[in-house]
Amino acid sequence: MARGDMSGWLVAGAAALLFLSGCAAYHERMAAVDEALARGQVDEALKALDADGREAREQDYPLYLLNRAMILRQRGDLDGALLALAEAARRAEEAAVISVSEQAAAATVNEGRRSYAGAPYERRLIHVFLALTYLELGRLEEARVEALQIDLISKALAEKGEPDDPFARWLAGIIFEALGEWSDARIAYDKALAAYTDEGSPYALPPPRQLQRDLVRATRAVGLADEARRLRERFHLAADDPTLDPEAYARQGEFIFFYLDNLAPLWRETNTLVQATEGGHLVRIALPYAVPRPSPVERARVRADDHEATAERAEDIARLSVTYLEGQMPKLVGRAIVRAVAKEKAVDKVQKEGGAVLGLIMNIATVASERADTRTWSLLPDNVRLARLLLPPGTYPVRVILEDRDGRVLARRDLGEIFFRAGDKRWRSFHWIDPRIARWWTVPPDPEWIRIHVHGG
């Protein structure tokens, strides 16, 4: 090939690398969305997300749908959220099988060239939020379908070593109980309790007292009186607690409240130098790091006249996000080093065959193309809390009150007047975002984190 022809091909290759790299990492594209949500401007957040979605690559589209669903839920468009979640679930399943071409692009350009299938905990949470949205719409049978999906995906993930999700199991149990399917409810509650107490699992939390009451009540409902008594004594629950009696429970109305707290960790990009195994020289690589966005909310209370309950922590999504990313770091670092070495060889080849100018162009292209994959379902809440409030039949004005650790009220939300007959169940959620959420956008990576997870401690 003539030198001029070679130069043309090399310039075209460099241009292709620049094109494939994209103009901005995912977290940078989400900045306008987060800023609008922090200001409480949900419609503006949706506009910003949709503007990005129109330009989104096919590989990013499932994530666009997931984040869109969370904004639509905040906007009160539950039907729209259902459509987005259902389509995201379908696309995420398809994306789980990565094509050969995407594998090659990830190996030579950057990790973001893969189709977004979501982390294992995210794939299960799609069905959790589908179920929750159906419940809020009063569509209990459709919620039951999602409870069955939760069981199926949990079994599939367990085969790959993923621990069980206690909140997903607890929610499934609540759905089965509402349908009078006490045996399935008891099994789900029991699995939830086991998952909460699974030491070493990122899903583990102190078992909620409400779940313990739910398990005792379901155990009594299936006729296992002695087992129910043993559970009650194990959990130190009062023998005369009316919430343990399924018949007394059925004579009340019930308000089931899900508090969605703040936003899940942001994944940002850091660039660092790592010693390559081949040749021993230093190479610069780009990696994602998690920035948790914890909430100042200490207590979320739901009140109906003189009746009140405090929501208990049911899911720590922030910990799931951070733990997942930490587990991925060895693979991400290894693939990034391989890419960096391969790109350096490509630059050397271009410089030898095309000259210094073309070598410089190729060098700029390879550096620009190395971006960390910062894609994550970032509009999930930091954590989820749950309360079940029993109410005698009647009409009640329902209010949510959020307090910090010093008891200062951070926010109030009136949920309107709700009518309950005996046996009625009403489901509601409230997603509160800290107005100061933007302060987490400037947090740099922890040097200790880089030492441990990048340089191997």
DSSP of 165-202: -HHHHHHHHHHHHHTT-HHHHHHHHHHHHHHHT-TT-T
pLDDT tens-digit map of 93-124: 888 776 544 554 455 545 666 788 899 999 99
Flag the least confident range among 101-115, 236-250, 379-393: 101-115
Contact 292, 268 (CB under 8 A): no
Residue 25 pLDDT grade (very low, low, confident, very high; cuts 50, 70, 90): confident
Distance CA 81, CA 66 (A): 9
Q: Which of 71, 83, 66 is nearest to 34 (CA)?
A: 71
Q: Report the pLDDT averaged over residues 271-280.
A: 66
Q: Report the pLDDT averaged over residues 210-215.
A: 98
Q: Report the pLDDT averaged over residues 296-300.
A: 97
Contact 38, 437 (CB under 8 A): yes
Residue 26 pLDDT grade (very low, low, confident, very high; cuts 50, 70, 90): confident
Q: Report the pLDDT averaged over residues 282-296.
A: 87
Q: For residue 165, what are the contacts with CB-CB under 8 A and spacing of at least 6?
A: 121, 124, 125, 128, 150, 154, 195, 203, 315
Contact 337, 274 (CB under 8 A): yes
Which pLDDT score, from 0 to 100, does residue 456 have?
Answer: 65
Please, what is the average pLDDT of the chain?
87
Q: Report the pLDDT averaged over residues 319-344.
A: 85
pLDDT at 185 over 90: yes
pLDDT at 212 over 90: yes
How far, in whole angstroms, is CA 441 from its chain's centroid?
Answer: 18
Which pLDDT score, from 0 to 100, does residue 21 have?
Answer: 45
Contact 139, 101 (CB under 8 A): no
Which pLDDT score, from 0 to 100, does residue 14 have?
Answer: 47
Residue 16 pLDDT grade (very low, low, confident, very high; cuts 50, 70, 90): very low
Flag the least confident range among 3-17, 92-106, 116-130, 247-261: 3-17
pLDDT at 133 over 60: yes
Residue 4 pLDDT grade (very low, low, confident, very high; cuts 50, 70, 90): very low
Residues written for the chain: 457
Residue 43: other Cβ atoms inside 10 A? 10
Which pLDDT score, from 0 to 100, does residue 365 have?
Answer: 57
What are 177's two structure tokens?
A: 């109980």
pLDDT: which is higher, 324 or 360: 324
Flag the least confident range among 2-16, 355-369, 373-387: 2-16
Which pLDDT score, from 0 to 100, does residue 282 have?
Answer: 60
Flag the least confident range among 55-64, 90-99, 194-203, 242-251: 90-99
pLDDT at 181 over 90: yes
pLDDT at 400 over 70: yes
Which pLDDT score, from 0 to 100, does residue 366 have?
Answer: 55
The CA distances from residue 283 to 181, 202, 223, 340, 395, in Å, are 59, 33, 66, 6, 66
Say if residue 72 is exposed, middle or buried (CB neighbours under 10 Å; 0-12, 13-18, 19+).
buried
pLDDT at 191 over 70: yes
Which pLDDT score, from 0 to 100, does residue 217 have?
Answer: 98
Distance CA 324, CA 119 (A): 7
Contact 418, 395 (CB under 8 A): yes
Say if residue 412 is exposed, middle or buried (CB neighbours under 10 Å; 0-12, 13-18, 19+).
exposed
pLDDT: which is higher, 83 or 92: 83
Domain coordinates in residue numbering, the chain? 1-22+252-457
**In 179-316, where does DSSP find H-type helix?**
182-196, 209-221, 225-235, 246-250
Distance CA 357, CA 120 (A): 45
Looking at the chain, the whole-number percentage of residues with pLDDT higher than 90 is: 67
